[in-house]
Amino acid sequence: MTDKLTPKQARFVEEYLVDLNATQASIRAGYSDKTAYSIGHELLGKPEIQAAIAAAQTARSERTEITADMVLQHWWAIATAEANELSQLRRVNCRHCWGENHGYQWREGEYQIACDEAVKAEKALPDEAGGFGFDPTRPAHPDCPECAGEGEEAVFFADTRKLTGAARKLYAGVKKTKDGLELKTRDQDKAMELVARHLGMFVDKSEVEVKHAYSELSDDELAAEIDRLQAQNTPKG
């Protein structure tokens, strides 16, 4: 099917299949950036280009056993996945919410560590009047004098081994940073754009860059041009 195409046109077909973006496909195929938008849509209007794209898509579908519907369903799942299934920002109790008389509430293990550190530093043992059993997932106490019932912000990540459906498709791994773990996700806006593009809901919009006629002149050339214009507009006689 590509026998009837020029090498550039054949390359355009290959590049167009990557992201269905006619402008970017034109640029990657070697056409000028300045005319890529118009060239791309001109090429898409040619019957031989349309036939080559359709043939390539059919061949790829048969080769991979992946249909357009399957791809659309995948993108749609990502675009509409509920991000709260991966991570949540919650308001939870502070250390004083549920402590005895709203004192600082410990976990037993961390209290022992604090005591060991105090002994090594020859300091007084930490106060345990607030008691033990702190649960970071409990809601804030409405009458807590420390946080005024507002609690504290806390981020919770889901156990990614148990993710299913759209949430599993949205999840893209985790990254260790100096501040802790960063949850990575697929780009939902991009997924929605791809769905819309494949359904023909919109086409590429050209980006028009207007350049001033004199923007590329040197200082000397600009000065000479100003003199010329002044002379041209000065009445004779």
Is 55 inside any structural domain?
Answer: yes
Is 73 inside any structural domain?
Answer: no
**Which residues, in sequence order, are CB contacts of 44 under 8 Å at separation 6+?**
16, 22, 50
Is residue 144 domain-shared with residue 95, that is, in the same domain? yes
Q: Where are the alpha helices (DSSP H) in 81-218?
A: 108-120, 165-170, 188-198
| pLDDT value of position 85 | 95
23 has pLDDT over 80? yes
- Please state, in angstroms and rounded to a whole number, the distance separating the CA atoms of residues 37 and 205: 8
At which of 157, 173, 206 does a domain end?
157
Residue 46 sits in a domain of what CATH number?
1.10.10.1400
| pLDDT value of position 93 | 97
Is residue 52 domain-shared with residue 110, that is, in the same domain? no
Range of the domain at 108: 87-157
Is residue 94 domain-shared with residue 129, that is, in the same domain? yes
Is 217 inside any structural domain?
Answer: no
- Please state, in angstroms and rounded to a whole number, the distance separating the CA atoms of residues 34 and 137: 57
Is 74 inside any structural domain?
Answer: no
Is residue 145 domain-shared with residue 102, that is, in the same domain? yes
Candidates 108, 63, 90, 59; CA nearest to 152 is 90
Asked which of 19-33, 59-73, 132-146, 211-225 is least confident by mean pLDDT, the reply is 211-225
| pLDDT value of position 214 | 45
Is 226 inside any structural domain?
Answer: no
Is residue 47 domain-shared with residue 100, that is, in the same domain? no
227 has pLDDT over 70? no
| pLDDT value of position 105 | 97
Structurally, how many domains does the chain consist of? 2
Is 202 inside any structural domain?
Answer: no
Could you give the percent of the chain with pLDDT greater than 70? 84
Over residues 90-131, the pLDDT tens digits come to 999 999 999 999 999 999 999 999 999 999 999 999 999 999
